[in-house]
């Protein structure tokens, strides 16, 4: 029987919709299971390596020796597995259409367990996100989903992993939208919610429904307390800045070290962490039990102050030295301690009635999260979900907004993005990410471009140029961009007797370019600034040419698009 092309197209499209829906649930379960396994593996490894009550030599040696091993693994087999996992997932989503090799997920699991389990002061949520996203990407490839569908599975899995790792399904959805996708109105909200809910059901069916933190029902005692919470926002902003700046600076120092030391850098971090653990064993690993104590008013003022400083130093060292682990949990830890200190001081000296210091510790968690991670809405909902306490919502929002503003004012680039830029990966701006319904530079660019090597003479350039009608040519070597040269410049130089001279001096370096994900409007605007050719450069690999945009490629795209629309309308009429 004959099957019309249009009905087959419709059949396939709808089928992929269904398949995607089923995969959303399956990926949600898988991401949750990976997150739970990751948590269990970290706990088991910690007990295995440190025992129940670790001795001083053990505290010193375990992080150092294990980091030697993880350093080898990270340098040799899984270089992409170092660090948090959230920015890498973001980069994969925005720059590689969600493509994450399965090897990275495996490497992240192994190195994450070893790093956090051996005492490094890092969180498990970021790695869980990357593991889940890596798994989703592999599933997408396995089922040969379209690139857009494969890409969509990444934030879905990220939400599921975070939901399972932190037991906060709503905040996880918001985190995926706010941080990974960068668009609160994304079409993926339904799939993300489904995966997040599935994940939390799976997680609770295995680990039980006990919350991570056991927080009393704190009350907002007096309206004047908002002043104290505002002060907490300022303190949170300052601590966030201190954390972000010191992390970036120390990481820059480690990155500047010779490449051959890369394998040993995690061990340097491990040694310093070992020394720190002797004096502050409370900063070992994730450290949620001490957050819990702070939330319940169980820590003294000087202890919380010391732990805030020690945790800040420990996390900065662990992360900068190239270990695998996140900053999600450390930011909550720092927030709980900074909030606890503020709470005790307010409780002692405020001239108005105040809530318990634990309430400030709770708000402090959200404040630091908003300041460091820069996801203010996620932080509000996360604390609300964690504590089930409506009373703290207003103070939380006040403190979060102040901390967020201070952090943004003095560190304009969000930490995750700044970390990526240290690795020469440039994410699109939030504004560009929000535009989802328009064509991108990648759609109108032509990958078939003519390039003249930078070391060519004018004679050689003329030989190449004479074969093509273009007025402007790309100067590039092995696909790496150097500049542009115009036909006029080549012909003029040849006519004036400089045929054997190198083209170097005539190459235009100061010109506009775009990245593949930038919208068509920006591309056309910039094309007008260049002499007839706009290079499209990769974000992840600076100066690598992915294609060019010329007036001809734009016209070709318009024609193709018009034909496509005509074909669709004819099919619709037939149907």
- Footprint of another protein (CB under 8 A): 1, 3, 7-8, 10-12, 14-15, 19, 22-23, 26, 29-30, 33, 36-37, 40, 43-44, 47, 52, 139, 142-144, 202, 206-207, 210, 214, 216, 289, 292-293, 296-298, 356
Instruction: Compute the least distance from the CB of residue 556 to another protein, in Å.
Output: 30
Give whichever of 72 and 143 is closer to another protein, judged by the CB atom: 143
Q: How far is CA 542 from the centre of its chain?
A: 19
Residue with tokens 């059949």: 11
Give whichever of 33 and 514 is closer to another protein, judged by the CB atom: 33
What single-letter DSSP state applies at residue 144? T
Give whichever of 164 and 536 is closer to another protein, judged by the CB atom: 164
Instruction: Compute the least distance from the CB of residue 273 to another protein, in Å.
Output: 21
Instruction: Compute the least distance from the CB of residue 40 to another protein, in Å.
Output: 5
Give whichever of 228 and 441 is closer to another protein, judged by the CB atom: 228
Instruction: Compute the least distance from the CB of residue 102 to another protein, in Å.
Output: 14
- Hey, what are 27's tokens? 């990926």
Instruction: Compute the least distance from the CB of residue 152 to another protein, in Å.
Output: 17
Instruction: Compute the least distance from the CB of residue 18 to another protein, in Å.
Output: 9
Instruction: Compute the least distance from the CB of residue 23 to another protein, in Å.
Output: 8
Give whichever of 45 and 244 is closer to another protein, judged by the CB atom: 45
CA angle in degrees (0–180, nearest 5) for 484-485-486? 125
Instruction: Compute the least distance from the CB of residue 256 to another protein, in Å.
Output: 41
Q: Is residue 361 within 8 Å of 340, Cβ to Cβ? A: yes
C-alpha distances out from residue 406 to 227, 235, 236, 382, 420, Å: 16, 10, 9, 21, 22
Q: Residue 74: CB partners within 8 Å, gap ≥ 6?
A: 81, 82, 107, 111, 263, 266, 322, 323, 324
d(CA 352, CA 224): 7
Give whichever of 23 and 523 is closer to another protein, judged by the CB atom: 23
Give whichever of 228 and 420 is closer to another protein, judged by the CB atom: 228
DSSP states along 241-299: HHHHHHHHHHHHHHHHS-GGGTTTHHHHHHHHHHHHHHH-GGGSSS-HHHHHHHHTT-S
Instruction: Compute the least distance from the CB of residue 517 to another protein, in Å.
Output: 29
d(CA 254, CA 376): 30
Residue with tokens 């960068």: 182
Give whichever of 289 and 409 is closer to another protein, judged by the CB atom: 289
Q: Is residue 62 within 8 Å of 119, Cβ to Cβ? A: yes
Beta bridge partners of 547: 536
d(CA 105, CA 80): 10
Helix, strand, coil proportions of the chain in percent (round to 5)?
70, 5, 25
Beta bridge partners of 475: 452, 483
C-alpha distances out from residue 107 to 104, 442, 549, Å: 5, 31, 38
Instruction: Compute the least distance from the CB of residue 34 to another protein, in Å.
Output: 8
Give whichever of 26 and 450 is closer to another protein, judged by the CB atom: 26
d(CA 308, CA 344): 14
Give whichever of 27 and 503 is closer to another protein, judged by the CB atom: 27
């Amino acid at each position: 029987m004959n099957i019309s092309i249009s009905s087959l197209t419709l059949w396939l499209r709808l089928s992929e919709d269904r398949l995607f829906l089923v995969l959303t649930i399956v990926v949600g379960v898988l991401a949750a299971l990976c997150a739970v396994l990751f948590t269990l593996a970290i706990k088991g490894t910690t007990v295995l390596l440190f025992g129940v009550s670790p001795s001083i030599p053990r505290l010193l040696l375990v992080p150092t020796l294990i980091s030697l091993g993880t350093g080898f693994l990270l340098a040799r087999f899984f270089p992409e597995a170092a660090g948090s996992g959230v920015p890498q997932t973001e980069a994969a989503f925005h720059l590689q259409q969600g493509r994450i090799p399965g090897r990275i997920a495996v490497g992240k699991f192994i190195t994450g367990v070893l790093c956090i389990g051996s005492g490094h002061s890092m969180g498990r949520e970021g790695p869980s996100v990357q593991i889940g996203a890596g798994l989703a990407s592999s599933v997408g490839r396995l089922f040969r989903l379209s690139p857009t569908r494969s890409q969509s599975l990444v934030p879905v899995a990220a939400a599921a992993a975070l939901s399972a790792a932190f037991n906060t399904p709503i905040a996880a959805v918001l985190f995926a939208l706010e941080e990974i996708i960068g668009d609160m109105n994304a079409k993926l909200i339904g799939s993300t919610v489904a995966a997040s809910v599935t994940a939390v059901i799976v997680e609770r069916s295995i680990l039980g429904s006990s919350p991570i933190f056991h927080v009393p029902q704190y009350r907002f005692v007096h309206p004047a307390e908002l002043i104290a919470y505002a002060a907490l926002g300022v303190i949170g902003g300052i601590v966030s800045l201190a954390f972000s700046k010191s992390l970036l600076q120390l990481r820059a120092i480690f990155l500047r070290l010779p490449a051959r030391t890369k394998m040993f850098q995690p061990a340097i971090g491990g040694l310093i962490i070992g020394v720190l653990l002797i004096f502050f064993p409370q900063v070992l690993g994730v450290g949620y039990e001490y957050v819990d104590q702070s939330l319940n008013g169980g820590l003294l003022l000087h202890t919380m102050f010391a732990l805030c400083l020690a945790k800040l130093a420990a996390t900065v060292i662990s992360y900068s030295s190239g270990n695998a682990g996140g900053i999600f949990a450390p930011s909550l830890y720092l927030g709980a301690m900074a909030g606890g200190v503020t709470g005790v001081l307010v409780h002692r000296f405020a001239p108005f009635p105040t809530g318990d210091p634990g309430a400030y510790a709770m708000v402090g968690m959200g404040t630091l999260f908003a300041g460091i991670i820069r996801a203010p809405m996620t932080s509000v909902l996360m604390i609300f979900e964690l504590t089930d306490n409506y009373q703290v919502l207003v103070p939380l929002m006040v403190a979060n907004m102040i901390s967020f503003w201070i952090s943004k004012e003095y560190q304009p680039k969000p930490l995750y993005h700044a970390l990526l830029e240290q690795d020469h990966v440039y994410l699109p701006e939030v504004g560009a990410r929000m535009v989802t319904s328009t064509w991108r530079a990648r759609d109108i660019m032509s990958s078939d471009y003519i390039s003249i090597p930078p070391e060519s003479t004018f004679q050689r350039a003329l030989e190449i140029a004479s074969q093509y009608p273009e007025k402007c040519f790309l100067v590039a070597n092995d696909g790496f961009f150097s500049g542009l040269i115009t036909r006029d410049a080549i012909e003029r130089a040849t006519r004036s007797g400089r045929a054997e001279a190198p083209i170097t001096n005539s190459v235009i370096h100061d010109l506009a370019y775009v990245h593949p994900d930038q919208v068509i409007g920006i591309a056309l605007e910039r094309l007008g600034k260049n002499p007839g050719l706009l290079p499209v450069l990769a974000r992840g690999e600076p100066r690598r040419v992915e294609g060019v945009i010329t007036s001809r490629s734009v016209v070709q795209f318009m024609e193709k698009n018009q034909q496509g629309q005509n074909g669709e309308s004819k099919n619709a009429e037939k149907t």
